[in-house]
Structure 1
Amino acid sequence: MSGIRQALRKLWSASDDARMIQQDGRWYTWGEVRSLAEKIDRELMVVHALEGSRIGVVLGNRVESIAALVAVLGNGRTLTTLNPMQPAARVSVDLESSKPDVVLAPEELWMTDEFNSAARNVGIDGFAIDRDLARRCERSGGPAVAADDESSAGPVAIEMFTSGTTGPPKRVPLTWRQLDAAMSAVHGHVGVVAGEREPLTGRVALVTLALVHIGGMWGVLQALTEARPFVLLPRFTVEGWVGAIEEHKPRIASLPPAAMRSVLNADVPAERLASLRAVTAGTTFVSPDLADEFIGRYGIPVLIVYGATEFSGAVAGWTKPMHGKWWSRKRGSVGRAFPGVQLRVVDDEGNVLSTGETGRLEVCSGQTGSGTGDWVRTSDLAHLDADDFLYIDGRADDAILRGGFKVQPEVVANALRSHPAVLDASVFGRADERLGQVPVAVVELVDGQSIGETELKDHVRAHLTAYEVPVAIHAVESLPRSVSLKVDRRRLLELVAELEASTA
């Protein structure tokens, strides 16, 4: 199997007329993408942003981003992702803190004073990219110098944000070795042999998530490595996703939990999804009840996967044969380790725990930053059963310590989700002078439903110990979500503050 960089280079053997990206109903050919990618590459070379240079790209789900990705990664530069879904002020702050050698951004962003000032403050070369390329900012103090990103882990391909759902996002360096190891693990997991097909000739893939999230980035890299054209959704909508399924008839498609609920709520007819043999679901907790509801409605297996940005993607998951054999007995599990991945569960002192015991999950794989035989400890609480199925039991760094008792937010959220009026729930810890922390919950109600706080508290008391019951439960029209469709913790806290201020 060829590596990702080799697959990107192989694109140049494709016909210029080959369909590459479909967006908003229009197909963009490889010739169109190649022309823009080559122009980006030429301009980067003019400013001496050569192999190893760090190129900041405001990475929206649009054709220009794919051209930039091809120009940057295909020529051995490092792609530093900037999130277009943030306000201009936040993108500007991130630009100043990340300090890439060059930045590529839409003209719309360059028109804001904050972004313009940030680029000039950093003193970098900047270009507007909208179907064409235009110089917007010149480097002060001489040409860019290729970054020394060589380390024991190898050269860095992508500097990507984590989701930031529990705090400020962190930018994680992902090496070529990590990405290739992750791609190899995925292909070994599903039995795909890549690199045998002519570029852009395979079955059409569907990219659902935002490119600045590892799930969206992975969708593009996997499609290109497997020589597939793809549909690039600017954002998830039920009609956009279902329409792409109907038109291109993929066998497998990605569907995060929040999107899965949207499809179910829209009561999409089963015949519109008839081509699907499975959907994959990850990015956040996937309720087995939600998975069973989808399976019952459409007869399509839900293949849950588990991974993290730090591992450049998934490290465990379900396959369709595994699902047919084990799901009824292992529902709630996120599957088994991918080929080349080892998993174990340890206590706080690092002692390996027995089967069925909950502790901190550790991962050993070529997908980790070191790429050696080191075990990398995650912030997830988990247990492994006797058949090596992995179960995620919560997050160690989310635990709420209430008067000496630990409260796992996901346990409380699950109790709230079990009420028929609750569509989804999120729980966080609030500082308390007497108890240290107390749990606070926010619930998103099913359309047309209403329920009082007292009734919800009475409901969860039947499922929780007294110290796990939230001190406050707020009902909202919809939970705020990040680009990966996870609940955005920072926006959630802001929302609760507004609700409580208005109530006071």
Structure 2
Amino acid sequence: MGIRERLSRLLAEAPADAEAIERDEIWWTWGQLRQTAQAVIAALEAAGLGESARVGVVLENRPEHVAVVAALIASGRCTVTLSPLQPPARLAAHIARSRPPVVIAATEALARPGVLDAAREVSLVLELRTDGSVHRSGGATRTSDDTTPTTNPGVAVEMLTSGTTGAPKTVNLAFEQLDQALVSGGQVPKADRLLSRSASLVSAPLVHIGGLWRALACLATGRRMILMPKFVLDQWISAVERHQLRAASLVPAALRTVLDAGVPAARIASLEVVTSGTAPCPKELADNFFRTYGIPVLMTYGATEFAGAVAGWTLPLHRQWWDTKAGSAGRALAGAQLRITGDDGAQLPDGQQGRLEVRTAQTGQGETNWVRTSDLARMDPDGFLWIEGRADDAIIRGGFKVQPETVQRALEKHAAVREAAVVSLPDERLGQVPVAAVEATPGQPVPEVADLLDLCREHLLPYEVPVHIVVLDELPRTPSSKVSRVELLDILRTRLADRTTT
């Protein structure tokens, strides 16, 4: 049973009083979700927007928004995700650019400067209130010269990539991709029951694949969902304690937060496993968490284009291989095949670095075609995947190639560096040069730039040493907690300009 059929059944048959989603310690029942879903479908049908219609949703981490997505998937419509995390001007521009025939958004989102006007100019606007009711708020009637498609047949979600290295790109995720991604991740409902009393926590933004996948996994398996607007340590601990959660997902930055706060092991003792994705998790961080709490950290590798993870660790793998394979991204998940190829496209032997290619039904190209990624990687003889950088992040300095991750790892050897990030700046003579920023470790003396440069000279080739290093209290991050290279470049340019003027 695919996600479309599963959600259709749940919205039709789940007991009205059954707990579905908790937010701020208040439960939404399946009856409430059903009412919102029915209201959305009625409004779309009244507007003549049937199956395959593109529906823009300013998607927030709220129960009523989950109900909207469930209704759209169940009815075969296409959800065009619009991020509320964007500044108002960027959100308005995204609406104008994507031009869905209808936009659904919360009252507060529509009240942000310019958003309602932008939406009304190109779309019918439906206001989604906190009680789950839907109200028409005016909007444009499409003209005959508007060539933007009103439908996207077979596509469940139009989603933006995270945009850590530049402008986000739109990815079309078909219903079949979501189905395979859930199966690969082991998110299959029990044949003998509609709902489960177990619960899962979702704190990642629903507008990013990590958050959306986890929400769909809860719905697909009938688990109760604990929905957080974002990761907040005290609230996360409270949710783990109240529901005695057995599993949770934490990005590397959140893992560090738990460790830095010295959270007592007894408060999260119910956890048997933590998964970590969206950004590479340093093996030292995962191992430190495991040694501190006895909770294995299972890394995963995936992308928006794959509708989730295609490789990762499992508990059996962790028990057998962790001591010798720590730092690996794990093995290919069920339904996925991985290989490493050279510049000529030929498959490379185990141990050699090249470009990672993936073949799976989770890609838009289908399960028979290899998809070449931008990631540099190697496979070992035991089938473990090792991610070693990104081909498109390589900095070409005077003809020499610098991998930012290599420089990052060298800087993170310093005890006072919590995390490092490396980007490139244009250089008139060399073309590009690496520059770096480090986030200082709380409670440690702030690292001296001279010491950091000495560390780099000790561990790096001369052309890999960054030409500038700045020390920050915090590295800028995207909503999915990855380092935002775009914002980091702006900060570095400003800091370097200030140095020049002074």
Normalising by the residue count of structure 2, what TM-score does the alignment of the two structures yield?
0.96
The aligned amino acid for 1:138 is G
Give the drift of 1:502.
Answer: 3.5
Code of the residue aligned with 2:493 in structure 1: it is A
CA distance in 2, matches of 1:133, 1:417: 50
Q: What is the CA-CA distance between 1:112 and the residue it aligns to?
A: 3.6
1:98 aligns with 2:93: no
Equivalent residue letter for 1:156:
V
Instruction: Give the CA deviation at 1:116.
Output: 2.3
| C-alpha distance in structure 1 between counterparts of 2:382 and 2:112, whole Å | 55
Residue type at the aligned position of 1:137: G
Give the structure 1 partner of residue 163 of structure 2. Answer: 164
Tell me whether 1:492 sits opposite 2:488 in the alignment: yes
- The 1-side partners of 2:401 and 2:26 are apart by 52
Aligned pairs (5 A) from 1:122-161: 122=122, 124-131=123-130, 132-141=133-142, 147-150=150-153, 155-161=154-160
* Contact 2:100/2:150 (<8 A) preserved: no
Residue in structure 2 matched with residue 483 of structure 1 by the alignment? 479
- After superposition, the Cα gap between the structure-2 partners of 1:395 and 1:141, relative to the gap in structure 1 and judged at 3 Å, is closer
Matches within 5 A, 1:333-412: 333-412=328-407
* Residue 463 of structure 1 pairs with residue 464 of structure 2: no
SS at match of 1:439: strand
- CA offsets, 1:454-481, max 9 Å, x none? 1111112211111111101111111111
Q: One-letter code of the match for 1:93?
A: A
Alignment of 1:38-187 (within 5 A): 38-122=38-122, 124-131=123-130, 132-141=133-142, 147-150=150-153, 155-187=154-186
Q: Which residue of 2 aligns with 1:9?
A: 8
What is the correspondence of 1:408-423 to structure 2 with a 5 Å cutoff?
408-423=403-418
RMSD: 1.6
Q: After superposition, give the CA deviation of every residue in 1:159-192 in whole Å (9 maximum; x if it has no partner).
A: 11111000100010000111111111111xxxx6
Does 385-394 or 132-141 show the bigger shift? 132-141
1:431–1:437 Cα contact (<8 Å) kept: yes
Contact 1:280–1:302 (CA under 8 A) maintained in structure 2: yes
SS in 1 for 2:56: strand
1-structure distance, mates of 2:416, 2:239: 31
Q: Is the 8 Å Cα contact of residues 85 and 479 (structure 2) preserved in structure 1? A: yes
> Is the 1:59–1:82 Cα contact (8 Å) retained in structure 2?
yes
SS of the residue aligned with 1:462?
helix
Aligned in 2, Cα 1:464/1:146: closer, same or farther, shift over 3 Å? closer
C-alpha contact 1:20 1:200 (8 A) present in aligned 2:
no
Within 2, Cα distance between the matches of 1:397 and 1:115? 34
1:473 counterpart residue number: 469
The answer as to whether partners of 1:194 and 1:225 remain within 8 angstroms in 2 is yes
Aligned length: 494
For residues 109 and 300 of structure 2, what CA distance do their matches in structure 1 show?
35
In 2, Cα distance between equivalents of 1:360 and 1:428: 20
SS in 1 for 2:114: helix
Deviation at 1:65, TM superposition (A): 1.0
Which residue in 1 is equivalent to 2:295? 300
Amino acid at match of 2:315: K
Q: Do residues 245 (structure 1) and 240 (structure 2) align?
A: yes
Aligned-residue offset at 1:200: 3.6
Letter in 1 for 2:203: T
Residues of 2 paired with 1:164 and 1:405: CA distance?
A: 26
Kept in 1, the 8 Å contact 2:188–2:220? The answer is no
Pair 1:197–1:223, CA change in 2 (3 A): farther
How far the C-alpha of 1:121 sits from its partner, in A, is 2.9
Question: 2:54 touches 2:151 (CA, 8 Å); kept in 1?
Answer: no
Letter in 2 for 1:29: T
Please give the per-residue CA displacement for 1:239-262, whole angstroms capped at 9, x wherever unaligned.
Answer: 111111111112111011000000
Aligned-residue offset at 1:202: 3.1
Alignment of 1:215-294 (within 5 A): 215-294=210-289
| Structure 2, gaps ≥5 residues long | none
Q: Distance in 2 between matches of 1:27 and 1:197?
A: 25
What code does the residue aligned with 1:43 have? Answer: A
With CA pairs under 8 Å and 6+ residues apart, which has the higher RCO, 1 or 2?
A: 1
SS across alignment from 1:241: helix
Unaligned segments of structure 1, at least 5 residues? none
Deviations 1:314-361 (A, max 9, x none): 000000010010011111100000111111001111011111000000
Alignment correspondent of 2:21: 21
The CA deviation at 1:193 is: 4.4
The answer to whether the 8 Å contact 2:202/2:215 transfers is yes
| 2: CA distance, partners of 1:74 / 1:17 | 21
TM superposition shift of 1:499: 2.4
CA distance in 1, matches of 2:194, 2:224: 8
For residues 133-160 of structure 1, the C-alpha deviation after alignment (integer angstroms, 9 at most, x for no partner) is: 222223324799984534xxxx000011
* Structure 2 CA distance for partners of 1:344 and 1:451, relative to 1, 3 Å: same
TM-score (norm 1): 0.95
**Identical positions, percent:** 47
C-alpha contact 1:197 1:227 (8 A) present in aligned 2:
no
